[in-house]
């Protein structure tokens, strides 16, 4: 039986134009690592590809990862040749997601670990919502093909697993754990340690310091309000709130000119983080995620007049939690 990478490569060989690997907008370490690994795999099977993404990464570890591991990737807007003859593999996301810009090429394949969208069809789809990281799926492609990943690829994949599973504590599947273990043989532990040492910048730290003093709680639900924080910082700050002993479910949000960005986390089975995010944005925004982590956005233009945005998201979060009988 053909391995996954053989199947994908044989489909892509028929591309009339170039092959692109598209990571989601504002790519995170898992998306970057997965694209990096897939590019190497495809190249070994005679398919050359270019990694593209939309909207620059925000967190410093993603930027350091690209620099330290020598990962080549381009902003889609810097690749003006993308056209209908080109084919793309979407990685760590799916066509139609709010964080996946629609490029001019044809999206023929998707490799992802988020919930399956039923509105897209591909020639090749490997979508496994039960896996904690896309990087573990790509690591498995190497294992299945009997290939040892190059050291830098293994390092990237290991870091991707690390970040998406919050240090192997969130949504970890057997595959994540097994691949993490296998990658240890080739990954560079010093580089992983360096990346761990570049989580936030001094500017981020100042923003955290200000916001953390103002965390509010409602029972075991906590709120953290930020101003003009970018998407990844909202999530990272929320992880910190989630680590507080008295907090089971946390909502962090950032008020921005274009709207309000949300991040949700849950430690308890009774509350799904993605459902909480969807309940907050219901009818006025979009949201998604997993059982333990979610996110969403309400555009400023959709915010109903008469109620401050902060009050609205808190009120809706409390109503949702209370509606669950908690």
Query: Residue 96 has which token pair?
Result: 């139609």
Which one of 58, 92, 126, 248 is in contact with Mn ion (CB under 5 A)? 92
* 158-166, 173-181, 277-285, 305-313 -> range binding Mn ion (CB under 5 A): 158-166
Give every CB contact of residue 41 below 8 A, 6+ residues apart in sequence. 5, 9, 138, 141, 142, 145, 147
Separation CA 285–CA 117 (nearest Å): 18
Q: How far is the CB of 75 from Mn ion (least distance, A)?
A: 20
| E strands, the chain, in order | 19-23, 49-53, 74-75, 87-91, 106-112, 124-127, 216-218, 221-227, 249-256, 259-266, 286-289, 293-299
> Which region among 52-60, 71-79, 86-94, 306-314 touches Mn ion (by CB under 5 A)?
86-94
Cα–Cα distance for residue pair 322/292, rounded to 1 Å: 18
> Is residue 271 within 8 Å of 248, Cβ to Cβ?
yes
- With respect to Mn ion, which residue has the nearer C-beta, 69 or 82? 69
Q: Which of 5, 24, 29, 30 is in the footprint of Mn ion by CB under 5 A? A: 30
- Residue 164 as a binder of Mn ion (CB under 5 A): the answer is yes
Nearer to Mn ion, 93 or 259 (CB): 93
What's the min distance (Å) between Cβ of 17 and Mn ion?
Answer: 27
Give the shortest CB-92-to-Mn ion separation in angstroms: 4
For Mn ion, the closer CB: 164 or 230 = 164
Task: State in angstroms the smallest separation of the CB of 297 from Mn ion.
Answer: 18
The answer to the question of residue 65 lying near Mn ion (CB under 5 A) is: no
Nearest to 70 by CA among 53, 54, 51: 51
Residue among 110 and 221 whose Cβ is closer to Mn ion: 110
Q: Candidates 28-36, 197-205, 239-247, 306-314 — which segment interacts with Mn ion by CB under 5 A?
A: 28-36
Per-residue exposure over 158-180, b if at least 16 CB sit within 10 Å of its own CB, e if not: bbbbbbbbbeeebbbbebbeebb
- Whether the Cβ atoms of residue 237 and residue 211 lie closer than 8 Å to each other: yes
Stretch that binds Mn ion, among 8-16, 159-167, 198-206, 263-271 (CB under 5 A): 159-167
What's the farthest any 2 CA atoms get from each other in the chain? 61
Q: Which residue from 56, 74, 65 is spatially nearest to 18, judged by alpha carbons?
A: 74
Q: What is the DSSP letter of 130?
A: T
Q: How far is the CB of 253 from Mn ion (least distance, A)?
A: 22
The answer to whether residues 170 and 144 touch, using CB atoms and an 8 Å cutoff, is no
CB closer to Mn ion out of 27 and 259: 27
Q: In whole angstroms, how close is the CB of 51 to Mn ion at the nearest point?
A: 15
Q: Check residue 222 for interaction with Mn ion (CB under 5 A).
A: no
Residue whose CB is less far from Mn ion, 157 or 233: 157
The footprint of Mn ion on residues 133-152 (CB under 5 A) is: 134
Closer to Mn ion by CB, 92 or 182: give it.
92
Nearer to Mn ion, 69 or 157 (CB): 157
Q: 296 forms bridges with which residues in the sheet?
A: 262, 287
User: Minimum Å distance from CB 182 to Mn ion?
Assistant: 19
Question: What is the three-class DSSP state of 126?
Answer: strand
Pick the stretch among 26-34, 83-91, 270-278, 293-301 that binds Mn ion (CB under 5 A).
26-34
Question: In the bound complex, which residue of the shown chain has the CB atom lying closest to Mn ion?
Answer: 30
Q: Phi, psi at residue 276, to the nearest 5°? A: -60, -45
Q: Contact residues for Mn ion (CB under 5 A)?
A: 30, 92, 134, 164
């Amino acid at each position: 039986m053909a391995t996954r990478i053989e199947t994908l490569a044989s489909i892509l060989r028929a591309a009339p134009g170039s092959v692109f690997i598209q990571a989601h907008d504002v790519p995170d370490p898992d998306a970057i690592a997965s694209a990096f690994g897939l590019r190497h795999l495809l190249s070994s099977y005679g398919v050359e590809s270019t990694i593209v993404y939309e909207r620059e990464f925000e967190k410093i570890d993603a930027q350091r990862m690209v620099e330290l591991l020598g990962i080549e990737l381009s902003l889609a807007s810097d690749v003006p040749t993308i056209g209908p003859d080109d084919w793309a593999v979407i990685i760590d996301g799916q066509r139609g997601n709010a964080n996946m810009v629609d490029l001019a090429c044809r999206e023929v394949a998707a490799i992802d670990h988020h919930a399956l969208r039923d509105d897209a069809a591909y020639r090749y789809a490997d979508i496994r919502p039960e896996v904690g990281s896309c990087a573990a799926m790509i690591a498995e492609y190497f294992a299945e093909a009997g290939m040892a990943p190059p050291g830098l690829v293994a390092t990237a994949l290991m870091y991707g697993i690390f970040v998406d599973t919050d240090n192997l504590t969130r949504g970890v599947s057997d595959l994540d754990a097994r691949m993490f273990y296998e990658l240890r043989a080739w990954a560079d532990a010093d580089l992983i340690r360096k990346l761990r040492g570049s989580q936030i910048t001094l500017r981020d730290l100042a923003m955290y310091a200000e916001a953390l003093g103002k965390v509010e709680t409602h029972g075991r639900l906590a709120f953290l309000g930020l101003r003009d924080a970018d998407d990844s910082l909202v999530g990272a700050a929320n992880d910190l709130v989630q680590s507080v002993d008295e907090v089971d479910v946390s909502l962090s949000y950032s008020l921005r000119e274009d709207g309000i960005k949300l991040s949700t986390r849950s430690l308890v089975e009774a509350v799904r983080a993605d459902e909480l995010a969807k309940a907050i944005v219901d009818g006025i925004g979009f949201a998604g995620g997993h059982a333990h982590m979610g996110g969403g956005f309400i555009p400023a233009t959709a915010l109903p007049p008469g109620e401050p945005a902060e009050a609205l998201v808190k009120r809706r979060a409390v109503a949702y939690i209370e509606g669950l009988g908690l």
